[in-house]
Amino acid sequence: MKSGILQPIDLIARSLTPFILTAFLIVISAIPTRIPEFAYIAPVLPLMAVYHWSIYRPDLLPAWAVFVLGILQDALVGTPFGVSSLVFLAVHLVVLSQQVFFTGKSFAVVWIGFSMVSGAAFIMTWVLVSIFFGQSTGLLGVLFQYLVTLGAFPILTWLLMIWQQKILPQE
């Protein structure tokens, strides 16, 4: 930790890292690849981050920040504006309402919780996008992306947990 005038700046910078890391994951998700249709099967990294921070450090990722991240996601990925904000806020609020349940539980419980919450988030996204476009979008692609996201969850959560333990100020 820094001393003197740098201490408050250091604390603010560290406190902003959940927002900045999630925004970085959104940017990573939006980078075009040369793999055809990769965007339709790539894991939804920001959803994992919103879930993680909502459990472990909701004080550093408030609802307004989750809303802004959703708008950024929509702007960069091409989802209709507001869809990601609604979905991210729903995930955030559900996790906050169940935070007592998640506190102190094993990773398996957190992962099972993510499987349920993210499953609902994928269905919600699919319904909202289908309504926006006036036709049903490919449900099989949504299912595959959900499974890929579920499989990638342990890796990203492990990285976020290391960051949380090494960088973030304690509550």
Give the CATH number, domain containing residue 118: 1.10.1760
Task: Write down the pLDDT at residue 156.
Answer: 97
Residue 100 lies in a domain: yes
pLDDT at 52: 97
Residue 76 included in any domain: yes
Tokens of 121: 């988030």
Q: What domain range is 160 assigned to?
A: 6-166
- Token couple for 97: 């309402």
pTM of the model: 0.92
pLDDT tens profile 62-111: 999 999 999 999 999 989 999 999 999 999 999 999 988 998 899 999 99
User: Does residue 171 lie in a domain region?
Assistant: no
| 93 falls within a domain | yes
The torsion of the CA quartet 110, 116, 121, 123, rounded to 10 degrees, works out to 160
Determine, yes or no, domain membership for 138. Answer: yes
Report residues of the chain scoring pLDDT below 70: 1-3, 169-171
163-166 CB contacts, 8 Å cutoff, 24+ apart: 163/17, 163/21, 164/56, 164/57
Contact 125, 87 (CB under 8 A): yes
Report pLDDT for 3: 61
- Domain membership flag for residue 1: no
- What is the SS3 string spanning 89-138? HHHHHHHHHCHHHHCCCCHHHHHHHHHHHHHHHHHHHHHHHHHHHCCCCC
pLDDT, residue 124, reads 97
Residue 149: how many CB atoms within 10 A of its CB?
Answer: 23
Q: Is residue 114 part of a domain?
A: yes
Number of domains the chain is built from: 1
Distance CA 154, CA 95 (A): 17
Query: Is 52 a domain residue?
Result: yes
